[in-house]
Amino acid sequence: MKQIPKALFEKSLDSLVLSIEHFNRPWDRGRHEAVLILLDRAFELLLKSIILHKGGKIRERYERETIGFEKCVRKCISDDKVRCLSEEEGLTMQIINSFRDAAQHDIVELTEQEIYLYCQAGITLY
């Protein structure tokens, strides 16, 4: 694996492990938010790593920043060169991303059963 994709993959694993660690914490203060933010980050870095590893690009011409989560998912579903996701897998990632968005920019209200369900689906997909 090339240097940059490998570094992104390792950072992705770090975020996944931290997400799991936060999920298992004995107190709830900020727990759901931290889990969703870290799990979402893990997926974004994983997808960017895969795209680069398969010879794709994560930066648009003349842009300073890399592509975002949504564009990574779409690329990994529809771009023949880097395809690695089914529609259902992409949908699972997008649901987690929408909960992360609510957690980061608004208020997320998930029951313990819902957070468990989405985290288990995410970790299984990862």
Q: Is the pLDDT of residue 1 over 90?
A: no
What's the pLDDT tens digit per position in 27-47? 889 999 999 999 999 999 999
Q: For residues 93 and 96, what is the distance between their CA atoms, to the nearest angstrom? A: 5
The sign one gets for the Cα dihedral 34, 35, 37, 43 is positive
Q: For residues 86 and 47, what is the distance between their CA atoms, to the nearest angstrom? A: 13
- Torsions phi, psi for 58 (to 5 deg): -115, 10
- The torsion angle over the Cα atoms of residues 85, 3, 42 and 97, rounded to 10 degrees, is -60
What's the pLDDT tens digit per position in 108-119? 889 999 999 999
Distance in angstroms between the alpha carbons of the first and the last residue of the chain: 18
Q: Is the pLDDT of residue 101 over 90?
A: yes
Structure letter (DSSP) for residue 66 = B
Where along the chain do its domains lie?
3-125
Q: How many CB atoms lie within 10 A of CB 120?
A: 11
CATH class of 3-125: mainly alpha
Which residue is it, tokens 């920043």? 65
If 0-12 CB within 10 Å is exposed, 13-18 middle and 19+ buried, where does residue 61 land? exposed
